[in-house]
Amino acid sequence: MDPAERRDCARRRRALLRLMGPGSLALLPAARTVFRNRDVAYPFRQDSDFAYLTGFPEPDALAVFVPGRREGSFLLFCRPRDRVQELWHGRRIGPEGARREYGADEAFALSELETVVLRLLEGARTLYYHLGRHEGDDRQVLGWIARLRERVRAGVRPPAEIRDLAEPLHELRLTKSPHEITLMRRAARLSVEAHRRAMSVARPGVSEQAVAAEVRAVFDRDGATEAYGTIAGGGANACILHYTDNADPLRAGTCLLLDAGAEWRGYAADITTTFPVDGRFTPEARAVYEVVLEAQRKAIACARVGRNWNELHETTVRVITAGLVRLGILRGKPSDLVRQEAYRPYYMHRSGHWLGRDVHDVGAYKIDGAWRELEPGMVLTVEPGLYFPPHDRRVPRGFRGLGVRIEDDVLVTAAGPQVLTAGLPRTPAEIESAMGAG
């Protein structure tokens, strides 16, 4: 295990144990192997919470955290070493490796799970667990509680309450450490490179999937993966927000909307570029692009310590509504139109989301009903867009079928917003020159 990651995991466990408090216990299962067909599994990806706290990369494991336990607070259950299994399916870390390499205070083979966990649960008043995330895990955990209840007459006390592990844990995950930011910068840099590569191969006649394949090749070569399914939408496909068919050829006179990001060592980047396939914006595409770019830049400027999360969205809404009036698509006073949400048919999503291990990362957006204030170490995306469906008769013909989204990843620092995904051509002039037609 990477020493920096190991130190960070230990720090995160200490922080979680502090938040949990005495008399509590947390159960956190690893992700399971998911089968694609018969005995063929999907590529395994560790559960983000489990990876965050343990760094342990195998399926079929369970971590237990017990604040203040004399023999140690971090217990790990995992698959035992097995010569035959390892010959067929690959190396296993085993309990001894879990202690030595991953800092577990105690580690056991899975066969000991029930006995040890029942004993630990007996002494806990509060159980922290992700109830409702995975049915199989729920059944197992609730089964343990039921087993303890059967023994109440023997003086056994099951935990009195079950609390959502997400509450303490996802607050921790929202603020990134310097080590996490290093990993996110790497994911961002790789994603910038992939978008540059896409711009260099996209031209009329090339297919959406060929562009997506170039993006993946950049990630694969570096040992990264896609943080989510790449969206390569040419022409009107750009108006489908989660388009992943990527099956059409690119056509001259249209734009490609490319939403793609790398996952590096468990951390995601998330970038969207929109650029003309033949290297030249049409006047309509350019006009729409400039509105979205202004909205994005002004929203990024709001990503400052002490500002609230919703200010970014409100900023994009104001700029986009004024832009829609300028383009002749909406009529009226911009402030009225904002109040009436007249922009909604063309800008139907929010301005962004938290970013981290998960592309739509964890962490509350509101606290006690109020939008939360930004703090140093938070990472978020800023991604306004405008989409004009091909058959919308309220829209002047030249705009129909245009979809533009511009997305970057921003780190909030005491010194102001820092764009992690900087380095892409962003203005129409920069894009046209990068596409070789400028």
Phi and psi angles of residue 367, each rounded to the nearest 5 degrees, phi first: -125, 125
- Smallest gap from Cβ 383 to Mn ion, in A, equals 5
Contacts of 311 (CB under 8 A, 6+ apart): 302, 371
Partners of 308 in beta bridges? 373
Residues 6 or more apart whose CB falls under 8 angstroms from that of 363 comprise: 170, 171, 173, 174, 354, 356, 378
The smaller minimum CB distance to Mn ion, of residues 124 and 194, is found at 194
Binding site for Mn ion (CB under 5 A): 270, 381
Residue type, 134: H
Closest approach of Mn ion to the CB of residue 407, in Å: 5
Comparing CB distances to Mn ion, the nearer of 9 and 257 is 257
Strand, coil or helix: what is 118?
helix
Residues in the chain: 438
Residue 162 identity (one-letter amino acid) = I
| Minimum separation from the CB atom of position 400 to Mn ion (A) | 25
Instruction: Work out how close the CB of 379 gets to Mn ion at its nearest, in angstroms, rounded to a whole number.
Output: 12
Whether 214 contacts 202, CB under 8 Å: no
Instruction: State the catalytic residues.
Output: 39, 242, 259, 270, 349, 353, 360, 383, 387, 405, 407
Q: How far apart are CA 308 and CA 73, in angstroms?
A: 36
The rounded Cα 400 to chain-centroid distance in angstroms is 31
Residue (73 or 237) nearer to Mn ion, CB: 237
- Minimum CB distance to Mn ion, residue 230 (Å): 12
Q: Residues 166-178, buried b or exposed e (16+ Cβ, 10 A)? A: bebbbbbbbebee
Residue 234 bridge partners (DSSP) = 256
Q: What amino acid is encoded at 31 in this protein?
A: A
Residue closer to Mn ion, measured from CB, 227 or 435:
227
Q: By C-beta, is 21 or 423 nearer to Mn ion?
A: 423
